[in-house]
Structure 1
Amino acid sequence: MKIVYVGRFPLHIQSGHIDLISDIAATGHEAFYIIALRFKDYIRNKFTRVLSNDAEFTGINYRPFLRVTRKMKEYEKKCILSTLRKNGLIERNVVIVSNNMETCSYLKDRLPSEVSVIYHIFDRYSEYYNLTDEEKVSFDEREFEVIKKVDGVLCVSQKLLAEAKELNNNSFWFPGAVRKNQIVMPGAINTSSKKVGMISNELSRIDWPLMCNIAMILEDYSIELIGQNDLADLGEYPSNIRFIGKVPFVELPKYVRDWRVGLALYEENRFNEYCCPLKYFEYSSLDIPTISTTIPEGEVFANLYPEMIFLADDAKSIAAHVRNITTANEINDYTRLARDHNWSARAEQLIAIINKVKKNTF
């Protein structure tokens, strides 16, 4: 079987997809990755075949094309279709997976019916743009039509899955994952430490007032924040909050080795209603329990992993969880979630899903 992943954004932004397709290649299937690259990365790739420290191409048939501008959507779709044809990827044994709904719709209309097209819903995408409420409704309506059209749907959260199932029976829960080789050995916790922290790509996404309230209650603890500090107008904040800045994932263990708890302070908004809480996976891979504000997928994982995912929505309750965890005399293994949700396991799940889709479709 030939499995093709067509990415939505430039490669270095979503190297998790490279992990998925690499692990698919490791199962013995032919794996292809088609992605648009900006000019600088495209030229660099021509000469070095390397884009970032996080991108590994083990066993992958890598097929990038030049992105002139994101506004040239029709041009990019034609490039993708041309790449598929040049590489003989329009046969019965080909499966195309993409997290771009427009690409899925375009290819489904133009490829033979024997080629399966699977839409990977990675987030509620309408939340990424400055859209009015009317535009969001229009975007979601277009997405629903794509869900009906494609052969299968991968959903990163149970809430997305519930909606997709109403439109396409070949819809499956397909949450995120971490790299297997980045899961630390459990049990190396510094029980005397009074550090907790939070990882976020952009710190503006966290509930900052709640963070400050937690810090004031836990005045004898140090709270470390890892991520791009794009918080505006911070004003005064508790002195036990420390900003570390952005850290590559491979370097996280040396920064968080003394953390006793990882925080996931999700704001209440529509995006978080549908999201897969990747922080849970990251903390688990580092042998750290998670205290999270309540989101729908948080409740799913708290039920599956009650020994390591704790939900609370106010500063006093979150602080109480921190004290309970850090004063306990026992050392627990918090890596179970990461071991269950690594990219190797996800690759095997995708192959099983593809077989179900083909059985149900043909």
Structure 2
Amino acid sequence: MSKPFIIVSTADWDNPFWTNKQHIADRLAGRGHQVLYLNSLGLRKPSSNGKDIKRIIKRLSQFFSGLQQKKTNLWVWSPVVIPYQRFSFVRKLNFFIVRQYVKHFARKLGMEDYVLWTYNPLTQPLLDMREQLSVYHCVDEISAQPGMPEQIIKEQEARLVKEVDVVFATAPNLYETRKAINDSTYYSPNVAEFNHFNKALSPGTVIPAELLRMKGPKVGFIGAISGYKLDLALIESVASRNPHVHFVFIGQVGEGDPWTDADRLGKTPNIHLIGPKPYSELPGYLKGFDACLLPNVINEYTTNMFPMKFFEYLSAGKPVVMTPLPAVRDYYSYCYVAADADAFDKQLGLALNEGLLDNYEQLIMDRVAEAKKHDWESRIDTMLAVVDAHIKGAGAPEALRAASLPGAVPLPAAASPRNGKTGKTARSVGSKA
């Protein structure tokens, strides 16, 4: 049975790199649910960076355009707020205004008894409008992002977690900390649009000309090129050790972190910062890569991050060379893990030489088979089952609760032939493993 959803996002709908926010909204609308999608309210204060100024101008234009229907069952609204959320009176004013608009648009669209689904940790003031259920989808440790009012976010997020009906968390650490506040917390790792990225293995998928012009091995990264996520020093070091390898980075430099300084990367001859690419073209770029990279710095933010691109890479059958992200530890046996530049260099060499192994084709098939278990449709099936159960007042069905308890239904074994270690299993929603 269809139901309306109001989704309060931290990512704008038209961002070329879709996150879990857009994927979930898109699929809910595709299943016949009405969706009102609120673009990011803005958590950090803007900098004087040109990108932030352009974004402000764009947001003002979007705001005056009013409610925009993007597809059947899906509307987008771009709120304008005072960008100083660290001040209590500013937050109160912002959310008073947003509440009035949300109520107005809900009436206009005929939304009654909707599900309020928020990604924004400051949105406790939006609770108790007319929602029949409230959901907090906790996908990042947002307080750890650069420029954020850290203490305010932590305090307000704790209030939100306590008061919502359901919490979904995408990383084990996020799950453990939120579960301590709200017992109706479920571990729901990020997944991928398998069918889209699996096109990289299709004979009909074309490798872009700019990759074909690069002679020699090519390794790639797709996503935000930001200093708080990527280990820029490690990337520069490994690239300098492998001048015959092209390191290709697809994405916006400074996304979410306007203070990112990637000048040294741009000056390294075999590092190519080629900017964002259309979503439809990404399988072609993946097809042209010999290996994929997750060269993340390990900090409070990335310790609580489960990168969507991990399963996107596996969907393409590509070897993944990565730093030891805790949230992905249950899948270390599917990738090459290295904690420093020396080890990363060695693991990259192993990944690039997979073609010499007798079980090369089997490695590709194993990665693809694992990725196929973690697609958006199966994940949304399970999340909606949890939502429906809570709406009925019974809580999650026993089978779902049992599957969500740590250790009850193990995720893929974390024992890696490269490090011999196993990881702790967390509460899992929607895993088919």
Q: TM-score, normalised by structure 2?
A: 0.69
Assess if the C-alpha contact under 8 Å between 1:212 and 1:237 holds in 2. no
Assess if the C-alpha contact under 8 Å between 2:136 and 2:161 holds in 1. yes
- What residue is the counterpart of 1:200 in the other structure? 223
Cα deviation, 1:22-71, whole Å, max 9, x if unaligned, reads 3234445x23223258342356677x855xxxxxx2x4242536536556
Cα 1:49–1:299 change in 2 (3 A) is: same
- What residue is the counterpart of 1:349 in the other structure? 382
- What residue is the counterpart of 2:312 in the other structure? 282
Query: Bigger shift: 209-218 or 7-16?
Result: 7-16
Q: Give the secondary structure class of the aligned counterpart of 1:109.
A: coil
Q: Give the secondary structure class of the aligned counterpart of 2:219.
A: strand
Distance in 1, matches of 2:307 and 2:115, equals 27
Q: Give the secondary structure class of the aligned counterpart of 1:202.
A: coil
Structure 1 residue 117 displacement after superposition: 0.6
Assess if the C-alpha contact under 8 Å between 2:200 and 2:287 holds in 1. no
Distance in 2, matches of 1:61 and 1:338, equals 28
* Equivalent residues in 2 for 1:49-88, closer than 5 Å: 49=69, 57=71, 59-62=72-75, 64=77, 67=80, 72-88=94-110
Structure 1 residue 225 displacement after superposition: 1.9
Cα deviation, 1:292-317, whole Å, max 9, x if unaligned, reads 11121121332xxx23x222112222
Distance in 1, matches of 2:264 and 2:198, equals 34
Select which of 331, 346, 352 maps to 1:326.
352
Query: Bigger shift: 240-249 or 160-169?
Result: 240-249
Bigger proportion of residues as strand: 1
**Counterpart AA for 1:33:** L
| Unaligned runs of at least 5 residues, structure 2 | 41-58, 85-93, 208-214, 255-260, 397-433
Structure 1 residue 288 displacement after superposition: 1.7
Structure 1 residue 90 displacement after superposition: 4.0
Percent identity for Structure 1 against Structure 2: 20
- Say yes or no: does 1:33 pair with 2:63: no
Assess if the C-alpha contact under 8 Å between 2:7 and 2:25 holds in 1. no
Select which of 100, 110, 125 maps to 2:120.
100
Cα deviation, 1:221-252, whole Å, max 9, x if unaligned, reads 22222223453442896532223222222222
Structure 1 residue 354 displacement after superposition: 0.7
Select which of 146, 158, 167 maps to 1:153.
167
Q: Give the secondary structure class of the aligned counterpart of 1:345.
A: helix
Assess if the C-alpha contact under 8 Å between 2:4 and 2:112 holds in 1. no
Distance in 1, matches of 2:369 and 2:200, equals 10
Select which of 207, 216, 220 maps to 2:244.
220
Cα deviation, 1:311-337, whole Å, max 9, x if unaligned, reads 211222222222222223322133335
Query: Bigger shift: 13-22 or 277-286?
Result: 13-22
Select which of 115, 118, 123 maps to 2:140.
123
- Say yes or no: does 1:250 pair with 2:280: yes
- Say yes or no: does 1:12 pair with 2:14: yes
Assess if the C-alpha contact under 8 Å between 2:197 and 2:313 holds in 1. no
Cα 1:176–1:45 change in 2 (3 A) is: farther
Cα deviation, 1:73-106, whole Å, max 9, x if unaligned, reads 3211221133334445443xx3221112333x22
Distance in 2, matches of 1:350 and 1:235, equals 40
**Counterpart AA for 2:13:** L
Q: Give the secondary structure class of the aligned counterpart of 1:277.
A: coil
CA RMSD for the aligned pairs?
Answer: 3.1
Assess if the C-alpha contact under 8 Å between 2:266 and 2:272 holds in 1. no
| Unaligned runs of at least 5 residues, structure 1 | 51-56
Q: TM-score, normalised by structure 1?
A: 0.81
- What residue is the counterpart of 1:53 in the other structure? none
- What residue is the counterpart of 1:109 in the other structure? 128
Distance in 2, matches of 1:313 and 1:65, equals 41
Q: Give the secondary structure class of the aligned counterpart of 1:11.
A: coil
Cα 1:138–1:41 change in 2 (3 A) is: closer
Cα 1:168–1:40 change in 2 (3 A) is: same
Distance in 2, matches of 1:139 and 1:316, equals 37
Distance in 2, matches of 1:288 and 1:45, equals 42
**Counterpart AA for 2:346:** A
**Counterpart AA for 1:98:** T
Higher relative contact order at CA 8 Å, sep ≥6: structure 1 or structure 2? Answer: 1
Q: Give the secondary structure class of the aligned counterpart of 1:176.
A: coil
Cα deviation, 1:319-360, whole Å, max 9, x if unaligned, reads 222222222332213333542333222221221121333344
Q: Give the secondary structure class of the aligned counterpart of 1:245.
A: coil
